[in-house]
Structure 1
């Protein structure tokens, strides 16, 4: 009978006499509690509990699983403790058995008031010649008078072994250029146990390394990692952790971040593995695999300035600019990256056109010029390129000439790509493809790249024009470049 299984009996009878109450079911119980609910004057009654003799098959029930833990004081003082989780109860004891992988049952004993049993072990009994041994304990409850005859259902503890224990989920989700997910783990024993188990010095180096598998590859064999492992704020280590005598019993973190690959490749699945090495020797039995889902955030967004010039923002707003001058086409809000457009009257029809582009990366400037020296220059004026280098040029700032100079591709350190294509009419057509590092970080004629068009006409002073105006003059003029 459990404490919440109660029955109430009415004892208000007109005559003095004897009354017997029968419980709904016959139940084995440890204790009986009588609660007087109400009375007149003071409660007065005689109570007798009528039971029956227990049979030999009666055993304790409702017993919890025991818990197995590791104790470390020094390499010469190692032990395991099997702890019974139930409260000590008079008359009940437990038949406790120790078990070891490969050897079966080790020892057995009766446990009652102590409610725990300790097994002394040596490091070589936990890890020996690269083999790792599992331990477990079992308990069987019984009443002291009949323990030799009958015992209750066997309860098993958790397994214990020397290992790197994964504490986080074995499946994680990350977003490209999003916040990191954490792989969390800890060692169940100090590294000296692993070291002696691979026949190395007890002070050998124990490392846990993380690496990703089944990555996509380009045709040339270059890997496109879906995840990367940045350095943590508290450690210079990125894809591995060194386990020491001082930190083995603490939780270790390795960050996993969705990689910016610049490819619209859909959501991907990749496997991240943890490898444990003692004295540079791989412990194959300690491998752990974590499945990581990577949400693709690359988009087909593009900002363009074509012919007339007709412009389209990153988020798809179309408009025209009939003003002449140098304009900020694209500006990164936190990095020293800018693209400027040069608009002026071109040819005999006196229409506005794109005639030049400049790209600023740090202090270096690339100029692609078809404007010519004078307004209304010959539309056949050749395209000229000039690089102005002020210091060491960033290796990730690259320019490629395609089709004998008929097209130029400019690659920014963020992964953004600018394509410039001269037209037969004398103007330039320009397309800029942003990277994930541009998301929520752009301004200029290309607008705010955030997949929302309502704020694309944001001025340089943070004022805004109404979306839908074909000639948003105030917006475009706010981004016209002027010198002091």
Structure 2
């Protein structure tokens, strides 16, 4: 009974901005590793300090001045306390200044441009005229991954982008224009194969305008690419880094930290190596079962990623945005009180930003329909990605040395 009388919950909240800028929801701050409130019981009064950990909200904008927001704390009414000593107690308007870090990744863009000519986030240019599926980008702690396909477009001299797969947890968006991966033959789909699965609308923001595609992660990291109108290859794949990528990006895009000397860190390694070893370490074996382009990809059965509010076991921190118009008039706060909790980054995509998509449009253009053996209905024959019979993973073409330098 004593504990019931002397337990109080204090809500923590920030004013709701209810705006959207640059594709990102606008908020001032997020709470780190805690819900939108703190609890005191009878053992705590006068015996402990309470710390509220906050971090600046990522808005993907260069702010030349500090942003300012306010933190509010308000008590709830305890129905077990007839005196109501702490009812409606509040501390309002704690001023919080948010220093901008977006300038640290200003201009940080990873590029895979046919044949492919590569550029890391830190601006180092190198060549990768190889075939296969590669990990272009992967986040160290968040479930963000981008795979690309390179296949022959100039016999024995160059390969081109012909597939992009973007994944956040169990959500993904895939576009593919080639039918096979080959060093000797070119087989391009007349109609690009597109697939998507969104477990939550805010997992990925997908915008398609003609032959141009833009896919944005909740962190603000953005993937863009276009399909050529004359040969159906993907001319280039560009990934714009966000502040969450600093010291956390992996794959062919390299480590994002402004230092080109450590860009070539191979998969599973901690020290940089030469470009060949680096590139081959991030190539996905055709029989590995981890390619996002495979129907049976292990990513889609990955039980280490628990899709429950977006919490990944290896994520260093989780965040809550507590933006609202005022305190909640209820006794106990809970996670649903938070507008968004258990986020893996202090940022959120604007809602309703996804364009109308053509989903699962992966029919083989040369044999679009085939009669079902069980009934008379026509069924789509999906154009599954295959490898040329002559494909040899140990084979390689001579990588052209056009330029390797810092931009």
Q: TM-score range by the shorter chain?
A: 0.5 to 0.7
RMSD of equivalent CA atoms: 3.7
Query: Structure 2 stretches of 5 or more lacking a match?
Result: 78-83, 289-407
Within a 5 Å distance, the mapping from 1:69-468 to structure 2 comes to: 203=5, 206-213=8-15, 217-218=19-20, 224-232=26-34, 238-266=35-63, 267-276=66-75, 279=84, 281-283=87-89, 287-298=91-102, 299-300=105-106, 301-346=108-153, 351-362=158-169, 366-373=173-180, 375=182, 376-377=185-186, 381-387=190-196, 393-398=199-204, 400-404=206-210, 406-426=211-231, 427-428=233-234, 429-462=236-269, 464-465=272-273
1:121-150 CA distances to partner (integer Å, 9 max, x unpaired)? xxxxxxxxxxxxxxxxxxxxxxxxxxxxxx
Do the aligned residues in 1 keep the contact of 2:149 with 2:161 (CA within 8 Å)?
Answer: yes
Give secondary structure in 1 for the equivalent of 2:52: strand
CA displacement at 1:288 relative to structure 2 = 4.8
Whole-angstrom CA distance in 2 between matches of 1:408 and 1:339: 14
Query: Structure 1 stretches of 5 or more lacking a match?
Result: 1-189, 192-201, 233-237, 467-471
CA displacement at 1:448 relative to structure 2 = 0.9
Q: Indicate how the Cα distance of structure 1 residues 268 and 339 shifts in structure 2: closer, same or farther if over 3 A, else same.
A: same
Give secondary structure in 1 for the equivalent of 2:258: coil
- Paired residues in the alignment total 269
Q: Indicate how the Cα distance of structure 1 residues 207 and 478 shifts in structure 2: closer, same or farther if over 3 A, else same.
A: closer
1:28-68 CA distances to partner (integer Å, 9 max, x unpaired)? xxxxxxxxxxxxxxxxxxxxxxxxxxxxxxxxxxxxxxxxx
Whole-angstrom CA distance in 1 between matches of 2:61 and 2:145: 24
Do the aligned residues in 1 keep the contact of 2:175 with 2:195 (CA within 8 Å)?
Answer: yes
What TM-score, normalized to structure 1? 0.48
Q: Indicate how the Cα distance of structure 1 residues 451 and 369 shifts in structure 2: closer, same or farther if over 3 A, else same.
A: same
Higher relative contact order (CA 8 A, sep 6+): 2
Give secondary structure in 2 for the equivalent of 1:382: strand
Whole-angstrom CA distance in 2 between matches of 1:372 and 1:337: 25
What TM-score, normalized to structure 2? 0.56
CA displacement at 1:329 relative to structure 2 = 0.8
1:303-323 CA distances to partner (integer Å, 9 max, x unpaired)? 111222121111111112111
Whole-angstrom CA distance in 1 between matches of 2:159 and 2:256: 26
Question: For residue 478 of structure 1, what is the aligned residue in structure 2?
Answer: 281
Q: Indicate how the Cα distance of structure 1 residues 214 and 317 shifts in structure 2: closer, same or farther if over 3 A, else same.
A: same
Do the aligned residues in 2 keep the contact of 1:379 with 1:425 (CA within 8 Å)?
Answer: no
Greater shift after overlay, 360-369 or 296-305? 360-369
Give secondary structure in 2 for the equivalent of 1:451: coil
1:201-256 CA distances to partner (integer Å, 9 max, x unpaired)? x9487544333348583379996222122454xxxxx3333444443223341423
Structure whose alpha-carbon radius of gyration is higher: 1
CA displacement at 1:264 relative to structure 2 = 2.0
Question: For residue 351 of structure 2, what is the aligned residue in structure 1?
Answer: none
Q: Indicate how the Cα distance of structure 1 residues 394 and 450 shifts in structure 2: closer, same or farther if over 3 A, else same.
A: farther
Do the aligned residues in 2 keep the contact of 1:208 with 1:240 (CA within 8 Å)?
Answer: yes
